[in-house]
Structure 1
Amino acid sequence: MSDRYAVYDRLKFDYPAERVLRMTFDRPQTFNSVDAETHTQMTDVWRDIDRDPNVNAVIVTGAGKAFSAGGDFGLIESLTGNFDQVMATWKEAKDLVYNIINCNKPIISAINGPAAGAGLVVGILADISIAGKKAKIVDGHPRLGVAAGDVAPIIWPLLCGMAKAKYYLLTCRAISGEEADRIGLVSMCVEDEVLQDTAIEIASELANGAQSAIRWTKYSLNNWLRQAGPIFDTSTALEMLGFMGEDVKEGVASHREKRKPNFRKDCPI
């Protein structure tokens, strides 16, 4: 294992095939939830992957029964009402998305089980996304009391259309792997027992293909996302603004107490 990945102790790395790097969210005891340090590491790692001459393709997956449960409550509560922390997280959230978009290596996500929040950013933004049938995809930002930020507003409408994107992002309804495949939110859905093998097969094919052609194709296609940068920047800023309000406190409390939230009914906008 290259020393360049030794600093990323919240992530696990291995090489399942020649010139294929697999990165695994490795907090199975919390369904691979993302704390502050994990968020920083999953933001920064893409620059090292981009510069790694020994890697031609990347697989991203989760340890245990989940891909990633998203930001943990400790991270969310550290943001609430904390202007400096919100600003730092806004920058990091932008860097995460742009670092993935600009990474020159093709990224394949193997979405096993629940996928939400910051982890879902990687899963959906991957160049080829493969969901197992037990995958459960959900963007739950409004249910938490903040606007849907991360990467959803710039890529969900491209993948599954505006009507489906609005339906799922406004209602926070979960999407199965098969339904995500049907509406075009992921590249494909496979049986759970062949998920990793399918990801390795595709990654190996890309790792052994014409590298300049593959990387330039990715770069060109990602200009659809780059030109939508202002949409992303605005959505993420509005998400961060929500952490300065009261609804997010009720959102977190309702999650902890496993009840329906009681958000304020009036809104000044």
Structure 2
Amino acid sequence: MSFLKKTREGAILILTMSQPETRNAVTGNTAAAEFEQACAEVQADRSIRVVVITGEGPVFSSGGNVKDMQKYFQQQLSPEDIREEYRRGVQRIPRALYNLDVPVIAAVNGPAIGAGCDLTCMCDIRIASEKASFAESFVKVGLVAGDGGAWLLPRAVGLSKASEMAFTGEAVSAQEALACGLVSRVVPAEQLMETALGVARKIAANPGGPLRMTKRLIREGQQQSLESLLEISAAYQAIAHLQPDHHEAVKAFVEKRTPKFS
């Protein structure tokens, strides 16, 4: 059974995690391979301008499948085997999602636990239902974040809040997530998808090329010096200036009309 359900609304691709019986756990199934494949398809499809990720059922994602973790001691796997399983498994998700050039919105419909919390941090924009909660809960089961959470979460909420969440493992409510900047807005559950799609439509109304380059600049800006980013920005801008969509936007502005992007 497929983990991701894919639907399209024009230039928007909606990815719905659709295994509510496991609370949309991202391990012990094909989630990693499907996220990787979906991201590869998005990268190759220039008609897709924004991706929305949500969960089916009352939970966004419970993260790792704890029941499945019993195999590590039942099968007496070595540390080397487990390390490779993480590399070939769940770590494929942050590599694929975080490096995706297309803007990604997480429509968080319910609890986002452990790797599920980290999955939201792999997205660019997080919109939460009032029923959502977030927990960096690895210590609660005697583990560490094996999916990059120690890198992702501090960049979303800052070092102090990320440390509090990771060291206690306690969940924060949607409103607390809003207060610390983990999400950009909180809406009633029944309005979640329409709100997320409303933001997605505003993004998708813009030309695809500059959107992808803008996201790449934001990603690079988290790691590069200002001087390095200015150089990359100048190069991207040189490309953008020569694109038909820029010419159309300038012409439409002068003519006082809505631009028609390719």
Match of 1:143 among 140, 150, 157: 140
| Counterpart contact for 1:18–1:204, Cα < 8 Å | no
| Counterpart contact for 2:52–2:107, Cα < 8 Å | yes
- Structure 2's unaligned 5+ residue stretches are 225-262
Alpha-carbon distance in 2 for matches of 1:148, 1:220: 27
Which residue is equivalent to 2:243?
A: none
Deviations 1:183-213 (A, max 9, x none): 1112222221111001111111111212222
Deviations 1:60-108 (A, max 9, x none): 0000111111111243223445232431322433332121122111101
Which residue is equivalent to 2:164?
A: 167
| Counterpart contact for 1:20–1:207, Cα < 8 Å | yes
Equivalent runs, 1:112-191 vs 2, <5 Å: 112-191=109-188
- Note the C-alpha offset of 1:40: 2.9
Matched letter for residue 82 of structure 1 = L
Matched letter for residue 77 of structure 2 = N
Which residue is equivalent to 2:7?
A: 14
1:89 maps onto 2:86 in alignment: yes
Alpha-carbon distance in 2 for matches of 1:206, 1:90: 33
- Note the C-alpha offset of 1:160: 1.6
SS in structure 1 opposite 2:87? helix
Match of 2:209 among 212, 236, 243: 212
Which residue is equivalent to 2:220?
A: 223
- Mark the CA change 1:225 to 1:39 in structure 2 (over 3 Å): closer, same or farther: farther
1:28 maps onto 2:28 in alignment: no
Which residue is equivalent to 1:55?
A: 48
- Mark the CA change 1:150 to 1:225 in structure 2 (over 3 Å): closer, same or farther: farther
| Counterpart contact for 2:43–2:100, Cα < 8 Å | yes
SS in structure 2 opposite 1:109? strand
- Mark the CA change 1:125 to 1:71 in structure 2 (over 3 Å): closer, same or farther: same
SS in structure 1 opposite 2:60? coil
TM-score by length of 1: 0.75
- Mark the CA change 1:49 to 1:75 in structure 2 (over 3 Å): closer, same or farther: farther
Which residue is equivalent to 2:102?
A: 105
- Note the C-alpha offset of 1:49: 1.8
Matched letter for residue 124 of structure 1 = C
Equivalent runs, 1:185-200 vs 2, <5 Å: 185-200=182-197
Instruction: Give the superposed CA RMSD.
Output: 2.0
- Structure 1's unaligned 5+ residue stretches are 1-7, 228-269
Percentage of pairs with the same residue: 29
Alpha-carbon distance in 2 for matches of 1:102, 1:133: 29
Alpha-carbon distance in 2 for matches of 1:211, 1:176: 34
- Mark the CA change 1:148 to 1:9 in structure 2 (over 3 Å): closer, same or farther: closer
